């Protein structure tokens, strides 16, 4: 059978500078095994499949696969898949698009040529224990005293959050990945407007060895979880821009906005490959 297919670049307005996701449309007849097999072959961080919703409130249903396993939710695949759904003629029932996935119903806004999803609630928060902090510091090859703040920021994948003093310190990290094979954490540091410019307020790097990815180029779920910690603890303003992927040849920009009680994670999306898939 043939399926409509798009490969979408997420969190960038430049060509091939964001995080790609493969999106297969009208995939209701594919089995879980077929989906996983195709995701393994694509070998992207995520491959997604658009299906008819089972909830009357949803506009579409999404299944998300890494090369290894299915995920209940992921950030850049959510925005990329919504972009593909809209490009294929999808029309939302209301002004807010509703995506159904294993994590539940995810609201998505479409404004100012950007898509943004509402950050799902954290399932774990609070302080990291000293042993874990020492393991992370050793794996990052930095003194424990360099960590300015830290917290659990788990919205599903098991994320922890680490704050360093500056963007310069974040970009200087040379992790020992082999010493942290089971960890998943993000590191953030503030931009210095005089040295770094004003394109963003923070630099983020996402290390996901426990998911089979040493460093994720531009990660929506991590930024969604870290935003709740940073804004909630007063470490970041209610609206800010994150730069990510600088050392991986990417130029990601994530737009964070708190509106009411919700935190929205947004960015630009572009279809770089459009065609037919034969499975």
Active site residues: 46
| DSSP bridge pairs for 185 | 160, 207
The pairing of strands 185-190 and 160-163 is parallel
Residues with Cβ within 8 Å of 139's Cβ and at least 6 positions away in sequence, in order, are 175, 176, 177, 179, 180, 183
Cα torsion through 251, 133, 141, 168, rounded to 10: 40
CB 21 within 8 A of CB 81: yes
Q: Which alpha helices (DSSP H) does 88-232 contain, by range?
A: 130-140, 167-172, 193-196, 220-232
CB 119 within 8 A of CB 93: no
Report how far residue 53's alpha carbon sits from residue 50's, in angstroms, rounded to the nearest whole number. Answer: 9
Six token digits for residue 43: 């070998």
By the 10 Å C-beta count (0-12 exposed, 13-18 middle, 19+ buried), 37 is classed as middle
Angle formed at CA 172 by CA 167 and CA 177, multiple of 5 degrees: 120
Six token digits for residue 257: 């906005």
HSE toward the beta carbon, residue 258, CA cutoff 13 A: 15
Q: Which of 206, 183, 261 is nearest to 228 (CA)?
A: 261
């Amino acid at each position: 059978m043939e399926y409509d297919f798009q490969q979408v670049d997420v969190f960038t307005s430049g060509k091939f500078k964001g995080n790609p996701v493969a999106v297969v449309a009208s995939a209701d007849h594919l089995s879980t095994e077929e989906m996983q097999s195709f995701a393994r072959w694509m070998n992207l961080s995520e491959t997604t499949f658009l299906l008819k919703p089972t909830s009357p409130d949803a506009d579409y249903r999404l299944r998300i696969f890494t090369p290894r396993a299915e995920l209940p939710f992921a950030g850049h695949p959510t925005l990329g898949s919504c972009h593909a759904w809209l490009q294929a003629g999808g029309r939302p029932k209301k002004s807010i698009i509703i995506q159904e996935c294993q994590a539940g119903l995810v609201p998505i806004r479409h404004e100012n040529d950007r898509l943004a999803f509402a950050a799902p609630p954290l399932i774990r928060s609070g302080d990291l224990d000293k042993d874990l902090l020492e393991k992370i510091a050793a794996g990052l090859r930095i003194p424990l005293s360099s960590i300015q703040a830290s917290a659990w920021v788990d919205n599903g994948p098991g994320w922890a959050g680490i704050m360093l003093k500056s963007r310069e310190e974040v970009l200087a990290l040379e992790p020992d990945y082999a010493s942290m094979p089971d960890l998943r954490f993000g590191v953030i540091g503030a931009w210095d407007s005089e040295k770094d410019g004003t394109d963003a307020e923070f630099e983020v790097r996402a290390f996901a060895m426990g998911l089979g990815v040493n460093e994720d180029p531009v990660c929506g779920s991590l930024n969604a979880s870290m935003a709740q910690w940073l804004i909630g603890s007063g470490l970041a303003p209610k609206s800010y821009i994150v730069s990510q992927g600088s050392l991986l040849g990417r130029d990601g920009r994530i737009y964070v906005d708190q509106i009411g009680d919700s935190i929205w994670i947004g960015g630009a999306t572009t279809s770089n490959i459009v065609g037919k898939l034969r499975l």
